[in-house]
Structure formats: C-alpha cells, structure tokens
Amino acid sequence: MNPRILRGAIAVAMFSLGAGAALAQAASAPSAATAPAAESGKLAWYGSKFAGRKTASGERYNPEAMTMAHKTLPFGTRVKVTNPENGKSVTLRVNDRGPTQADRVGDVSLAAARKLGMVKPGVIDAELTVVGNAPAK
C-alpha cells in the first residue's frame, strides 16, 4: 500500500476516534444550561470513613473541605446550601456525584454538615441555589 494513503487513513481513523470520544464525554457531562438554578429537598452528609477515597471528579474526599455531591450539577459549580430550620447556610463546591437515594438532592462534607447544624440529625430538608458556575475548560 502507498505510504501516503496509509498515513492518511491512520490520520482519519485517529481523528474519528478522538472526535467520537470527545462527543461521548460531552454527552455524559451535565451542562450548566440544563442544571437547575435552585432546588430543595433532603440533604445528607458523608463522613470520615470516605476520607481519601476518590470522588467522581477524581479528587480525594476531604471531610474538612467545603464540598458536596450532586446528581447533575457540573463539577466546580458553587452552591449555596441553606438549612431552613435554623437559617444557617454555606457555599459549597460540587466535586462528586450522588446521592444514590432517589429522595435526596445532595450529600455534603462533614465540615459543611457542622456549619449547617445537621450532624446529629444526619438528614435535613435544605434549599440549594447555584451561586457560581463551574470554570470553563
């Protein structure tokens, strides 16, 4: 086979594979346009037994960081979480996916749970408001 034709065929194949992978990745990542600006529902916290484990974003879970898991918001999104029972609120960064329970809207770190006054009850009704978008890549 002609080397020029072979190089061209390889280049087309590599481009096709790369473009396909990029399209698949884009399709699986939640978009800011479809993300809710505000929502409310049940919120839980996850503690120290998960410390050091990788989150869905690839970073390690730190119970003392101000982070949260959300089912659809893009990683890096800043969310104001409010406990309407006591009025306490915190701003958290989405770095994980979850929760897996259908009746919950998110999971927060232990540090966030402390500031929200929800360590003892474990699960609270909460209000979530997007206050900052994930950084553009």
Percent of the chain exceeding pLDDT 70 equals 72
When pLDDT is averaged across residues 37-58 and rounded to a whole number, the result is: 92
Average pLDDT, the chain: 80
Concatenated DSSP letters of 8-40: HHHHHHHHHHHHHHHHHHHHHSPPTTTS-SEEE
52-73 burial, b at 16+ Cβ within 10 Å, e below that, comes to eeebebeeebbbebbbbbbeeb
Q: pLDDT per residue over 101-120, tens digit each?
A: 999 999 999 999 999 999 99
Q: Say if residue 59's pLDDT is above 80.
A: yes
If you search the block for the tokens 């009746």, which residue do you land on?
A: 103
Domains of the chain, by residue range, sit at: 1-30, 38-132
Q: Quote the pLDDT of residue 78.
A: 97
CATH 2.30.30.790 fits 38-132, yes or no: no
Q: What is the pLDDT of residues 64-87, one digit of tens each?
A: 999 999 999 999 999 999 999 999
**pLDDT bracket for residue 129 (50, 70, 90):** very high
The pLDDT of residue 35: 53
- Quick check: 14 pLDDT over 60? no
- The mean pLDDT value for 1-10 works out to 46
